[in-house]
Structure 1
Amino acid sequence: MPPLCRSLDGLHALVLLLPLLAVPGHCDDEYSLSQVLFCQPSEPSSGLLKMFGDDQMFSFNFSDNTVSPWLKEFGRWGDLAFPDPSTISAHVNLCQRFRQDLTEVLKDITPEARGGTHVTVFTAHPLRLGVPNTLICAVNDVYPPALTITWRRNANVLTRSLSTNNYFAVDSLSFQAFSYLNVTPYHHDVFSCEVQVGGDNRTVIQYWIPQYPAPSELLENVLCGLGFALGIIFLLLGFLFFYFAKRLHNTD
């Protein structure tokens, strides 16, 4: 398929936003409950999300036709998220046919559409060297929603996975994704999160190096002891200055 034809596959393909309900709030903003269905030539070939505003509530797993709640507490309503699987299949088939027809119509006309993927790495908890923590790789402006994420520690591969779910739809018609890595960081470590978007030769790399960690218990004790010792020294110096000043006064 020519590059510009692939590019339409870069519309990724079609992203269908199906607003279901608008819930007025007491503030100026409105929150909408929506289903986001996308289809594309790369994996995952189809995706279906239930969103409340910008927050994901459920995702549909096409591999085994199951529903995954984003928060564990939502699991009790999983059966109500996508109640009619036959309708889902019909919408996915329509999406794929429309994508293919649109690709043929706009071949060599529409330039390739891709997001400017941006990657950020941060810790889930305040940094303490030598203490277990979780690194979070946040990937923004994902388009198409097809990522391979590789974690490295000191250039050694820790994990490499094709992300096939847990995408978040945002208002710009792009997506967000997150990857998590449980680590115990030390001062000499260099971590990296490498992100490759499906069908793209670019790899976006974000490094994370432990810096300015929160003081450990040992360091806190050392600083406390040092402060106490300095306090005693200054107290003794104060007595000495007072003693010599008094002697000089008596001599005069």
Structure 2
Amino acid sequence: MFEFVSSTLIKMKLCVILICAVLHSTEAKTVHRDILVELCSDTEKEAIYGLDGEELWHADFSQGTGVMTLPDFVDPMAYVEGTYEMSVNNLEICKANLAASIKANDNPAEPRVAPQSSIYSKDDVELGSNNTLICFITAFYPPRIGVWWTKNNANVTDGVRFSRFYPIGDGTFNLVSRLSVIPEKGDIYTCTVEHVALDRHLTKTWDVQVAMPNVGPIAFCGVGLGLGLIGVIAGIVFLIKGRNFSSESD
């Protein structure tokens, strides 16, 4: 009887906990941000759909089709048929609105936001082993930018790749450039960025640095062992002197 009552009480407590969890979850609010970016000019056009800063779909105007850019591990989804055609029509509307807006506002200056950049290796550096350098360029507008690489002051074009422009919630963009490398001691790489919002080119430098083994613990143990041996030797000397002194006293 006691075991039955105890089991029932446990089940009742679990039931209360589950109910509270459900009630708590219904009160939680999650905010997501949809992204639609349509860019147009006399020479450029872009259409991107995204969610929470991640690109979901873009229009490939050179191939005449829409491209899903979700990674393989997410739940599959697809945009409705006609999304690409709608993007084409929207860009024509964008051009018409842009021309009217420029005329109405007496050709205002284009907004400009200067980029920031950083350069780092994808993997830990091992001399003579394949690696990838990443130049991360962030928070710039307009999405027109020049990027080039050098190795030991010589321009490099082989093994260079570029991502698409990634829109950020504040209206600026990110870009990633990658360079395939085989690091050797003494090599120096640079990633240089050119943008209309910069007074001068923005250059970041990366040189080959291989992490050396940590000699601190080894040195500490060596010093400790040396001091220990000195202490042992000193003890032996004092012991011998003590015995000699006792013998002379006798």
For normalisation by structure 2, the TM-score amounts to 0.70
In structure 2, relative to structure 1, the CA distance for the partners of 1:46 and 1:82 (3 Å cut) is farther
C-alpha offsets along residues 12-38 of structure 1, whole Å, 9 cap, x if unaligned? xxxxxxxxxxxx998665112332222
Residue pairs, 1:186-197, within 5 angstroms = 186-197=184-195
Q: CA deviation at 1:76?
A: 5.2
In structure 2, relative to structure 1, the CA distance for the partners of 1:157 and 1:72 (3 Å cut) is farther
Contact 1:133 1:183 in 2 (8 A): yes
Q: Are 1:248 and 2:246 matched, yes or no? A: no
Matched residue, 1:206:
204
Q: Please, which moves more after superposition, 90-99 or 60-69?
A: 60-69
In structure 2, relative to structure 1, the CA distance for the partners of 1:28 and 1:247 (3 Å cut) is farther
Q: Distance in 2 between matches of 1:159 and 1:27?
A: 50
Considering fraction of residues, name the structure with more strand. 1
Which entry has the higher C-alpha Rg, 1 or 2?
2
In structure 2, relative to structure 1, the CA distance for the partners of 1:137 and 1:87 (3 Å cut) is same
Matched residue, 1:14:
none
**Letter of the 1:194 counterpart:** T
**Letter of the 1:64 counterpart:** Q
Q: CA deviation at 1:172?
A: 1.3
Contact 2:161 2:178 in 1 (8 A): no
**Letter of the 1:94 counterpart:** I
Matched residue, 1:12:
none
Residue pairs, 1:30-69, within 5 angstroms = 30-42=31-43, 45-66=44-65, 67-69=67-69
Q: CA deviation at 1:56?
A: 2.0
Q: Please, which moves more after superposition, 223-232 or 194-203?
A: 223-232
Matched residue, 1:13:
none
Over aligned residue pairs, what C-alpha RMSD do you find?
A: 3.5
Residue pairs, 1:208-223, within 5 angstroms = 208-211=206-209, 213-215=210-212, 219=213
SS in 1 for 2:230: helix
Question: How many residues get paired?
Answer: 218
SS in 2 for 1:249: helix
Q: Distance in 1 between matches of 2:99 and 2:26?
A: 40
Q: Distance in 2 between matches of 1:71 and 1:105?
A: 43
For normalisation by structure 1, the TM-score amounts to 0.70
Q: Which runs of no fewer than 5 residues in structure 1 stay unpaired?
A: 1-23
Among all aligned residue pairs of Structure 1 and Structure 2, give the percentage whose two residues are the same amino acid: 17
Q: Distance in 1 between matches of 2:75 and 2:151?
A: 34
Q: Which runs of no fewer than 5 residues in structure 2 stay unpaired?
A: 1-24, 246-250
Q: Distance in 2 between matches of 1:176 and 1:30?
A: 23
Higher RCO (Cα < 8 Å, 6 or more apart) = 1
Matched residue, 2:21:
none
C-alpha offsets along residues 200-231 of structure 1, whole Å, 9 cap, x if unaligned? 885322222244x433xxx46x8887777666
SS in 1 for 2:149: strand
In structure 2, relative to structure 1, the CA distance for the partners of 1:82 and 1:199 (3 Å cut) is farther
SS in 1 for 2:33: strand
Q: Distance in 1 between matches of 2:74 and 2:42?
A: 31
Contact 1:117 1:139 in 2 (8 A): yes
